[in-house]
């Protein structure tokens, strides 16, 4: 496989996190003036994260010296910061709860939240008592359980498919179409939220893996593939069906990752994306709960909120995340 090390993955991840932040800002701020932000393509950004994961995790496992080494790296990248945000939300959001401290910490829902969210089962206890009107504390965390499943799936795929690229490719394509059947069925039956869960999101992850396994061919023909991908995505949009668009979006995302060399050093000061992603949702909700969007200029508060999220992301990386890596 061709050794190309320079890429724009740091830029792409920050861009995707920003797209998600903007969309959630429009939805959670409860400000009519910010409603236009809900047009931000959050779903595409989330699926693009899965594509990047498919590429990078396949590469990480193939390069790992052992299964233990791979598992340790993947665990340290996701779990410590994830548990931190769950713990901090359970403790600090007591400050914005409508309940008193005594009522809040004596409420069993707090401990249900800590237990189920620590196991990545956010849907079992998504809310905290008296916080945000008992609505979901951190709706962005649903993707992390899927990410963990992908981490587990990759070694199994390598074990089942072996290193024969032809057999591996055929097997991944079969899984791709099984995933698409699930995804399209639930979207067409009006259950879009369910369609995004496994195995519906698997087709995007597989898209990233397929590009990785055929990286040399991808690099050689990337400009032509990019044009074909753009056209194909538009065709899928016209017919309102996801058939080839997941793999084509994979090509588009990874084309950006291996083009535009001026973006290569975007992450030289650290990888803040994960912190921005896991903390932004509750921060926006705190701003909304405190009436900052309603009582002050919502555009100004959006900027303040954005810099707060970025600041927390930077602090999370330098003070906590990178210690585990």
pLDDT digits (tens, 9 = 90+) for 105-117: 999 999 999 999 9
- Is 83 within the bounds of a domain? yes
- Is 171 within the bounds of a domain? no
pLDDT score recorded for residue 288: 97
- pLDDT band of residue 263 (cuts 50, 70, 90) is confident
Reported as a single tens digit per residue, the pLDDT across 202-230 is 999 999 999 999 999 999 999 999 999 99
CA distance linking residue 96 with residue 298, whole number of Å: 20
Provide the token pair at 24.
């959630």
SS3 of the chain: helix, strand, coil, percent, to 5: 80, 0, 20
- Is 131 within the bounds of a domain? yes
pLDDT score recorded for residue 267: 78
pLDDT score recorded for residue 217: 94
- Is 60 within the bounds of a domain? yes
What percent of the chain is predicted at pLDDT more than 90? 80
Q: Give how many domains the chain has, as a whole number.
A: 1
Residue at token pair 């709860």: 97
- pLDDT band of residue 241 (cuts 50, 70, 90) is confident
The rounded radius of gyration (Å) of the Cα atoms in the chain is 20
pLDDT score recorded for residue 4: 60
pLDDT score recorded for residue 162: 73
Please state the rounded mean pLDDT for residues 143-152.
Answer: 95
pLDDT score recorded for residue 236: 82
CA distance linking residue 194 with residue 107, whole number of Å: 30
Please state the rounded mean pLDDT for residues 70-88.
Answer: 96
- Choose among 108, 129, 124, 179: nearest CA to 150: 179
pTM: 0.93
pLDDT greater than 50 at residue 118: yes
Mean pLDDT of the chain: 93
- Is 174 within the bounds of a domain? no
CA distance linking residue 209 with residue 68, whole number of Å: 21
Q: Kindly give, in sequence order, each residue whose CB lies less than 8 Å from that of residue 105, ignoring residues fewer than 6 positions away.
A: 94
Read off the DSSP letter of residue 7: -
291: left (phi over 0), alpha (psi -120 to 50) or beta: left
pLDDT score recorded for residue 258: 94
Q: What ranges in 164-221 are assigned the alpha helix state H? A: 165-188, 192-195, 202-213, 215-220
pLDDT score recorded for residue 239: 78
pLDDT score recorded for residue 229: 95
- Do the Cβ atoms of 129 and 99 come closer than 8 Å? yes
- Is 115 within the bounds of a domain? yes
62-71, 89-98, 252-261 — most confident range:
89-98
Please state the rounded mean pLDDT for residues 259-284.
Answer: 90
- Choose among 18, 11, 14: nearest CA to 262: 11
Residue at token pair 């939220």: 193
pLDDT greater than 90 at residue 266: no
Domain that residue 32 falls in: 8-143+207-323
pLDDT greater than 50 at residue 3: no
The gap from C-alpha 214 to its chain's centroid, in whole angstroms, comes to: 24
CA distance linking residue 130 with residue 101, whole number of Å: 11
Q: Kindly give, in sequence order, each residue whose CB lies less than 8 Å from that of residue 173, ignoring residues fewer than 6 positions away.
A: 210
- Is 273 within the bounds of a domain? yes
133: left (phi over 0), alpha (psi -120 to 50) or beta: left
- pLDDT band of residue 5 (cuts 50, 70, 90) is low
- Is 113 within the bounds of a domain? yes
Reported as a single tens digit per residue, the pLDDT across 155-204 is 988 888 876 778 889 999 999 999 999 999 998 888 888 888 889 999 99
């Amino acid at each position: 496989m061709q050794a190309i090390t320079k890429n724009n993955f740091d830029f792409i991840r920050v861009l995707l996190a920003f797209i998600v932040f903007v969309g959630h800002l429009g939805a959670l701020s409860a400000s009519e003036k910010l409603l236009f932000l809900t047009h931000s393509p959050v779903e595409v950004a989330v699926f693009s994260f899965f594509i990047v994961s498919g590429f990078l995790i396949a590469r990480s496992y193939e390069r790992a010296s052992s299964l233990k080494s791979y598992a340790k790296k993947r665990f340290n990248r996701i779990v410590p910061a994830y548990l931190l945000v769950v713990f901090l939300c359970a403790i600090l959001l007591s400050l914005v709860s409508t309940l008193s401290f005594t009522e809040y910490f004596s409420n069993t829902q707090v401990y249900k939240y800590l237990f189920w969210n620590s196991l990545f089962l956010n849907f079992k206890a998504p809310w905290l008592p008296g916080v945000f009107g008992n609505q979901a504390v951190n709706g962005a965390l649903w993707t992390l359980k899927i990410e963990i499943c992908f981490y587990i799936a990759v070694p199994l795929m390598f074990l089942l498919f072996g290193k024969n690229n032809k057999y591996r490719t055929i097997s991944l394509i079969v899984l791709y179409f099984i995933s698409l059947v699930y995804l399209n069925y639930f979207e067409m039956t009006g259950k879009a939220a369910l369609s995004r869960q496994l195995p519906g999101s698997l087709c995007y992850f597989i898209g990233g893996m397929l590009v990785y396994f055929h990286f040399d061919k991808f690099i050689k023909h990337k400009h032509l593939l990019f044009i074909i991908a753009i056209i194909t995505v538009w065709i899928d949009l016209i017919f309102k069906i996801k058939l080839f668009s997941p793999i084509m979006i994979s090509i588009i995302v990874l084309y950006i990752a291996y083009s535009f060399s001026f973006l290569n050093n975007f992450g030289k000061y650290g990888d803040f994306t994960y912190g921005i992603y896991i903390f932004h949702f509750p921060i926006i909700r705190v701003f909304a709960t405190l009436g900052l969007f309603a009582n002050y200029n919502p555009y100004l508060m959006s900027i303040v909120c954005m810099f707060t999220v970025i600041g927390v992301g930077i602090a999370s990386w330098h003070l906590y995340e990178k210690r585990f890596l």
